[in-house]
Amino acid sequence: MSEELDPHKLIVDFVNSNIDRLADSVSSAMKGTKNVIRARLASTYRAYLKRVLDRHSRAKSFFVRSEPLPIYEFFVPPNISSQQRVLKAPGAAELAAVAPAAIVSGSGGCGKTMFMRHLLVSNLVQQHKMPVLLELRQLNAGRTKVRTALLDTLNSNGLRADDEYFELALEAGHFCLLLDGFDELELGIRARIAKEIQHLAEKYPQNWIFLSSRPDSNLEGWQGFSLFSVEPLDLSQSIELVEKLPFDDPIKAKFIEALRSGLYKEHESFLSNPLLLSIMLLTYSDIAHIPSKLSIFYNQAYESLFQKHDALKGGFQRKRRTPLDIQDFATAFAAFCVQTYDRREFSFSRTKALEYFDQAKAISGLDFDSEGILDDTVQAVCLMIEDGLEITFAHRSFQEYFVARFITSIPPAAKEKLIRRFTKSVEPDSVMQLLFELDPYAVESHYLLPMIEKLQKHIQFKGRIGVTHHLRYIQAMYGSFEIADRGSGAPELRLVALISNSALFDAVRFALVNYDAEVSTSPQSDYENLQRVFIKEYGENALVETKSLRTNSPFLRALAKYGGKTLWGTENLRRVIQIGKLIRKRHDEAESSLEAILK
């Protein structure tokens, strides 16, 4: 996508190419002759698109915070992949050609929100459908339905549409609906919102619906939606991004040479992530190596930001309004972060931010000026961005790092309560992963061991895994199996399972990934055989509830032998129980050793 976009020409060309089609399909909802309706729509569409482009084709970022800049000046569109294909930096039309209803999933810092904005702009450039971008976190405030929020978004951006017009336009397939940040929804409303989005896709199939989210196991079962993952940046894309960033040119040149000379290959897991790559550039002139742990990486970034950062002014150190040293500042900011994270708030008004900092004084036991520390987090330390009337984190992962840091510093009883509270969100964010690096004993004691012991009790495990234990395990984790059309454009259907206990599923996966490097896998032929067994036993159109499975079922026997990242097989169950034994043994030995020392 070209960085040089002429918004006026883009809007005029889009409206001219689409106005007849748009007017024909909604004319029954408007009064006047066709020419009058056409002129009125052309005017209102131009006003709407101007506001949408002003808002979404420009942005502030981690490096660019003084004013919104065109997104292509600091953003490299990523590749995305499904199980069937890889799409190279697709625009909206390329993605819709494969999957008109798609979920784009990726970890923190991979650029999902910018990618959704890229889809919006590319859709206009390619002159296809009217874009509507909805930040799903707006639905956290009440019981607003997705359809209502989409109509409100049209009206708030100047389209002046009523419900009759919106219904006709949806039926005609006018829209490219961009739903950003499913993972930012409060846990209690996600199931409802998921049903509403899937209903929209089913009822109005002529529209394009693209949703972004951090990884969430529940998204895998959405009927009719293709699931795509954001691909890591390759070396050429990483270099392209570094070249775009507004930073000292000699340092950039040296950093790019290091990337080409082996730095990228050695630390690909960090340097293929746009945010972490940007942070590494920030710290490159001070730090000669890249740490192996993400928590150390964020700590180094924080220290660099606190001590010397003004990326656009050659290392100029901006004077801070608060006298707090680097440790106390982190403590105060961590107390701010834990409050906002607990409420799933990632942006807030200045007044609300000041309220959180006032409360942070009581939580941290530190005395500081709330106005001063808020200004410092935005202007001097650059952990947050002020954009219009909203203040947001420079990136959500900073919030998550400081939440993990906060938990490590509080008394044991409070630590246990927060860990149990926050493990409801293990899959979508990195708080527990970061905390596991900082305080593994606490995560093991208050999260992993209780969950593994709960699993063992549920399956009535005594010492050896049998078919009955495996059946209970499947019934505890999953609600049903079926052969489903995943909407991927591939001719074959796929066997999918509906996860019924996401907390248990996430705990099992967390244990396997952190202690076994990766979960057990199986070749594609094993999956194909499993699918054939299911169809032979139940039929291609069956939806089989796990409570109806029996120990003599050929399908259950095939599940037991299957490895795979789905966690269906007995091997992964056996390994997670063994992990629990090893953790318990290590804790007992550590406690015995400590008691011996203290005698």
The predicted model gives 51-69 an average pLDDT of: 81
**Domain co-membership, 68 together with 55:** yes
User: 40-54, 248-262, 347-361, 427-441 — which one is most confidently predicted on average?
Assistant: 347-361
pLDDT grade for 17, boundaries at 50, 70 and 90: confident
In this predicted model, what pLDDT tens digit does every residue of 130-172 receive, in sequence order? 999 999 998 987 789 999 999 999 999 988 888 888 899 899 8
**Domain co-membership, 114 together with 217:** yes
Q: Which domain holds residue 194?
A: 7-230
Residue 449 inside a domain? The answer is: no
Name the β-bridge partners of 348: 391
In this predicted model, what pLDDT tens digit does every residue of 356-415 receive, in sequence order? 999 999 999 999 999 999 999 988 888 888 877 889 888 888 899 999 999 999 999 999
Residue 321 inside a domain? The answer is: no
Does 97 have pLDDT greater than 80?
A: yes
**Domain co-membership, 412 together with 537:** no
**Domain co-membership, 286 together with 152:** no
The predicted model gives 13-26 an average pLDDT of: 80
Q: Report the sign of the C-alpha dihedral through residues 137, 140, 146, 147, in that order.
A: negative
Q: Report the sign of the C-alpha dihedral through residues 242, 248, 251, 254, in that order.
A: positive
**Domain co-membership, 214 together with 117:** yes
Percent of the chain surpassing pLDDT 90 = 48
**Domain co-membership, 254 together with 151:** no
**Domain co-membership, 30 together with 115:** yes
**Domain co-membership, 544 together with 511:** yes
Angle, alpha carbons 50-52-53 (nearest 5°): 65
Nearest to 105 by CA among 228, 237, 191, 17: 228
Q: In the prediction, which pLDDT does 387 show?
A: 73
Percent of the chain surpassing pLDDT 70 = 90
Angle, alpha carbons 412-439-397 (nearest 5°): 110
**Domain co-membership, 152 together with 39:** yes
Q: In the prediction, which pLDDT does 115 show?
A: 95
Q: In the prediction, which pLDDT does 311 show?
A: 40
What is the tally of structural domains in the chain?
A: 4
| End-of-domain residue from the set 407, 437, 467 | 437
Residue 576 inside a domain? The answer is: yes
Phi, psi of 129 (to 5 degrees): -120, 160
Residue 587 inside a domain? The answer is: no
β-strand pairing of 226-230 with 347-348: unpaired
Q: How many CA atoms lie within 13 A of 204 on its CB side?
A: 19
Instruction: Say which CATH number the domain at 109 has.
Output: 3.40.50.300
The predicted model gives 239-252 an average pLDDT of: 89
> What average pLDDT does the chain have?
86
Name the β-bridge partners of 87: 80
Q: Report the sign of the C-alpha dihedral through residues 568, 569, 575, 581, in that order.
A: positive
**Domain co-membership, 142 together with 49:** yes
CA dist 47 and 42 (Å) reads: 9
**Domain co-membership, 137 together with 246:** no
Q: How many CA atoms lie within 13 A of 312 on its CB side?
A: 12
Q: In the prediction, which pLDDT does 310 show?
A: 42
**Domain co-membership, 254 together with 375:** no
Residue 549 inside a domain? The answer is: yes
Residue 447 inside a domain? The answer is: no
Residue 445 inside a domain? The answer is: no
Residue 590 inside a domain? The answer is: no
The predicted model gives 526-537 an average pLDDT of: 88
Q: In the prediction, which pLDDT does 64 show?
A: 66
pLDDT grade for 426, boundaries at 50, 70 and 90: low
